[in-house]
Amino acid sequence: MWDSRRLEAGDVVIGDGGFVFALEKRGYVKAGPWTPEAAAEHPEAVRQLHREFLRAGSNVMQTFTFYASDDKLENRGNVLQFTGQQINEAACDLAREVAGEGDALVAGGVSQTPSYLSCKSEDEVKAVFKKQMDVFVKKNVDFLIAEYFEHVEEAEWAVHVLKMSGKPVATSLCIGPDGDLNGVSPGDCAVRLVKAGAQIVGVNCHFDPMTCVKTVKLMKEGVERAGLKAHYMVQPLAYHTPDCNRQGFIDLPEFPFALEPRVVTRWDVQKYAREAYNAGIRYIGGCCGFEPYHIRAVAEELAPERGFLPAASEKHGMWGSGLDMHTKPWVRARARRDYWEKLKPASGRPLCPSISTPDSWGVTKGHADLMQQKEATSEEQLKQLFKKAEAND
């Protein structure tokens, strides 16, 4: 069960990484809908990824239930062989199975919904969250996470529902320093979430590690100014995003199929983990792009505070020390911390720019382009979007 004393005592809790992106690359998730039916269709793939994150140092096995609400599973012509309940139950079982193989907690997760974007009522949106929550309660997860919310209002509604379970609730928004898509500042967002009942608040996805740490710092300052108390979490992208606007990496022209040149190194992640820890953040993990080796980097950087290394470090020399066994002398010469800390990695792409220009369509909840539908996107709808994209170029 969840033990809040871990965070109260200042202990580090390491989250997992980005299941959706990792499983898309492995051939088990479809880019576009980004739905998690693999939990029921290919449980062996989800189980293995859980195990890799556990071995890398994760303390939390988060159920693979991102976008597993019924309205998202059926959105824009997405046809599945499994019901939302079957997917959510399968995800809970897999997370619990692997958590039992180590010292890990199980977190049931909900995320933003097409219903909210389509301006459905508060009661209708909350009913979507409750349906998922009922599965998590039935499966007795240790705590709940409301994650990946662009609008603090919808996140508040999620917290209102999840706290009815009687279990601890964590909430993370996919926002940067500029705040949510309605312009609510990070500090005000955090205050609203804490007042709604969240014990842990923070951010995930949409921005790079250091940007996310900066955002959580702003949230922490807002909570403290309001005289409130909370714990803090951060689970960023594993991509460099200095050119992102308020919408984050979804606006980048490389999203989602050409982001690889932006991937952070394990050494970048060690710097991130230290920065997050020094900022007072104690729930530290990753989101899209984070692979098990990135989580291992978090665990290795914070090994002095945690008192141990993860199992995966058996196959990894700290700061490249294992390279002293390499056959080539110039590679053996890289078996030192200062080499990797000072390295400025090349992209190997001489004709490519270092940054991009985000699309910046500037639409959010209530705009006609964001109204969702159960039917597949029509050819005519696509033609209109293509025209708009060309006009914005």
CA-to-CA separations, 48 to 2, 177, 337, in angstroms, rounded: 23, 35, 31
- The answer on whether 205 is annotated among ligand-binding residues is yes
Angle between helices 122-138 and 152-162 (to 10 degrees): 40
CA pair distance 171, 256, nearest whole angstrom: 25
Residue 393, both tokens: 């170029």
The 283-284 sheet, strands edge to edge? 13-14, 283-284, 231-235, 200-204, 169-173, 143-149, 105-111, 60-62
Residue 342, both tokens: 């000072």
CA pair distance 387, 304, nearest whole angstrom: 55
SS (H, E, C) the chain: CCCCHHHHCCCCEECCCCHHHHHHHCCCCCCCCCCCCHHHHCHHHHHHHHHHHHHHCCCEEECCCCCCCHHHHCHHHCCCCCCHHHHHHHHHHHHHHHHCCCCCEEEEEEECCHHHHCCCCHHHHHHHHHHHHHHHHHCCCCEEEEEEECCHHHHHHHHHHHHHHCCCEEEEECCECCECCCCCCHHHHHHHHHHHCCCEEEEECCCCHHHHHHHHHHHHHHHHHCCCCCEEEEECCCECCCCCCCCHHHHCCCCCCCCHHHECCHHHHHHHHHHHHHCCCCEECCCCCCCHHHHHHHHHHCHHHHCCCCHHHHHCCHHHHHHHHCCCHHHHCCCCHHHHHHCCCCCCCCCCCCCCCCCCCCCCCCCHHHCCCCCCCCHHHHHHHHHHHHHHC
* Residue showing tokens 């539908």: 373
Binding residues for Zn(2+): 205, 287-288
Binding residues: 205, 287-288
